[in-house]
Chains A and B, each alone.
Chain A
Amino acid sequence: MTQTAAVAGPARARTRRRMTGLLIGLAALAVAVVLSIAVGSRFIGPAEVWRVLWNDDGSPSAVIVHQLRLPRTALAIGVGAALGLAGTLMQALTRNPLAEPGLLGVNLGASTGVVIAIAFLGVGSATGYVWFAFLGAALTSAIVFALGGSGRAATPERQVLAGVSFTAVLGAIVWAVLVTRRDAFDKYRHWDVGSLSDRETDTLVQVAPFLVVGILLALALGGRLNALGMGDESATALGAHPGRIRVLGIVAITLLCGAATAACGPLWFIGLAVPYIARMFTGADHRWILVYALVLGPTLLLVSDVAGRVLVSPAELPVGVVTAFLGAPLFIALCRRRKLRLL
């Protein structure tokens, strides 16, 4: 056996493993989509779903599928992909396995922007407050990154605490505004819990441009994140610009988190779990992790959403509650390990 074959063997095995994992992920996503369309307070069988999907005949099933479940599923796919990618980017940029848009306060930063928009500026639609969500998300991620230390990494735990402490300040601002305004409070509590239901049907359309740009930017960063993972000096030696990569990364995170939060409220767990699961299949290559995130994020969010519809049927558990109940145990399990490995 020649030397190249000896090297190529494991590499090919790894690629096969990555492809297999991706196929499993895609299959799971397909199942999740079907479930999301079929399951709810009124169950619609797969055959029926298939029929009305192509033939909007005005029957009750067709109305439910086209008016409610399809938009909701599409929104979950977009938001799930955004949160999965944002979590991956944050973990790569901070080299922190606990980094997550929710935990580090970026989503709440976006919330704060939205609250100020709702309460003081009378903004009512997602098109309007998405900009405030961006502003809040951008400021928060910049501040939390600076607090956690960018180049010489602080410990993962410390970064989480920086996020928590900053979140407390933001939370105080939010509540100072809301306790005095009944109408804004009522809007906010439905949005804050994190939910895919009772959103305006065109929510996805309104945030779609930002999501698309954010997703493309995130995917384009894959190779450079790998370079960054070797440390700033090695990355520079390889011709990458660590500073530029970080700025682009923060721009992508802002677009993704801002759009996702404006659409469904602050959700967490997706950004924590997706990179974690992806790495089990892909190893450390970010080009692959990002592609996985694009598949796994929507799958997880859809499954959580379906679970929320089933668990307390006929009522509904908002998806944010489901993800928190899935995410907290994962976070606790990760922290219980003896020592967290830096990524």
Chain B
Amino acid sequence: MKAGSKVRAVRYGPVSLRLHPRALAVGAALLLVALAVALVNLTSGDFPLPASDVLRSLVGQGDAGTDFIVLELRLPRVLLTLLVGAALGAGGAVFQSLTRNPLGSPDFVGITVGAATGALVVMLILGGGGVQVATGAVIGCVATSVGIYLLAFRRGAQPFRLVLMGVGVSALLEAFNSYLIYRGRLDEAMAAQVWQIGSVNGRTWTEVTIVGVAVAVLLPIALYYGRQLTMLSLGDEMAVLHGVPVERSRIVLALAAVGLAAGATAAAGPIAFVALAAPPLAARLTRSPGAGILPAAMMGAALLTAGDWAAQHTLPGDDIPVGIITAALGGVYLTWLLIHERRTRG
């Protein structure tokens, strides 16, 4: 056994916990990185502020002007980025473990495209906004998940087939989405398109609440049931032998992951590839075979915050949607993954 995967048991009265020191250390380090980048994001913008002023505002000691910029304009966006990143990372980790496939993340199996369809229907056909769009996204997300699950899981679970079903369903929904955008009025269509790419621009406390609630409720559930993921990944028979209620754990975990993805997408749109890339990157740092959910969540937060910084600084004077940055980097990562996997197999 490698030095990195040491487990320490902590017992305190009737409570016992298994701690993975390295996973915790990596999680804490990633959280610090995410917070540091978040602080940088709070200081930068059209009106640069020194970090000391920002910190003073955060603890309630700033002057009115700085307070307005930091607390009203920038803080919702920064918090949203952190929370959405965490939700995507955690959801991705659960999905990848359940499907036993590095490609089995919510953005790749088409779930977030379904969320986009739901949101676009609300935006462009029903003419709703704000919370209604978020509701539409959640409905679309859940409906698509159920559909893909039913398509892929006939005659036994086939994780790779799940990914391919996702590709097929995505293609269908994307065509429908581009039709909605095609028939909309130009301004609405453009707003819908930006939403569809995934963006944290111009978000308010409403969206922060949506994803905040999702993370606060579902992340603990995912963490609690996630302890059994290692057992589940050994195969159903082994898991049953070790006393894991297989079906219940799997369904609870899948629902929690769909909920996390739905919350993140409802708040920020279908941001691509964070859910795909965060868990394996975190697993590399923790040197464990499966990604821990907590390190993956922190990695997601760090990645998306860094991506948002890049989105604000890539084109001078332009604030491009963060989804563009993650799609570009994620596509490169995925291409590398495919080449690498083929080499190691061949």
- Please report A residues at the B interface, Cβ cutoff 8 Å: 102-103, 147, 149, 152, 154, 157-158, 160-162, 164-173, 175-176, 178-180, 182, 185-186, 189-190, 192-194, 268, 315, 317-318, 320-321, 323-325, 327-329, 331-332, 335-336
Contacts and interface: CB of A to CB of B under 8 A. Distances in A.
Contacts of A331: 167-168, 171
B78 interface: no
Given A158-B338, A169-B332, A335-B164, A176 B151 contact: no
B197 A179 contact: yes
Contact of B179 (A169, A171, A176, A318): A318
A157 B346 contact: no
Interface of A is mostly: helix
Most buried by A among B174, B179, B314, B315: B179
B5 interface: no
Interface stretch (B11-19, B25-33, B316-324): B316-324
A193 B178 contact: yes
A167 B331 CA distance: 8
A173 B325 CA distance: 9
Nearest to A192: B178
Contacts of B331: 165-170, 172
Contacts of A321: 175-176, 178-179
A192 B181 CA distance: 10
B197 A160 contact: no
A106 to B, nearest CB: 15
A269 to B, nearest CB: 9
B334 interface: yes
A256 to B, nearest CB: 20
Interface in B290-336: 314-315, 318, 320-321, 323-325, 327-328, 330-332, 334-335
B342 A325 contact: no
A158 B194 CA distance: 30
B191 to A, nearest CB: 10
Nearest to B189: A189
Nearest to B154: A336
Interface in B151-184: 151, 154, 160-161, 163-165, 167-169, 171-172, 174-176, 178-179, 181-183
Contacts of B179: 193, 317-318, 320-321
Interface of B is mostly: helix
B169 A180 contact: no
A268 B171 contact: yes
Contacts of B154: 336
A327 B318 CA distance: 38
Given A157-B164, A168-B327, A179 B193 contact: yes
Most buried by A among B160, B178, B332: B178
Contacts of B321: 175, 179
Contacts of A317: 179
B172 A147 contact: no
A171 B342 contact: no
Contact of A157 (B160, B273, B332, B335): B160
B335 A162 contact: yes
A332 B172 CA distance: 10
A149 B330 contact: no
Contacts of A172: 323-325, 327-328, 331
Nearest to B184: A189
A182 B186 contact: yes
Most buried by B among A102, A165, A182: A165
Contacts of A167: 331
Contacts of B323: 172, 175
Contacts of A332: 151, 165, 168-169
Contacts of A189: 178, 181-182, 189, 193
20 contacts: A103-B171, A161-B338, A165-B335, A168-B334, A169-B327, A169-B335, A170-B331, A172-B323, A172-B327, A175-B193, A175-B324, A179-B194, A179-B321, A185-B190, A193-B175, A320-B178, A324-B174, A328-B171, A332-B165, A336-B161
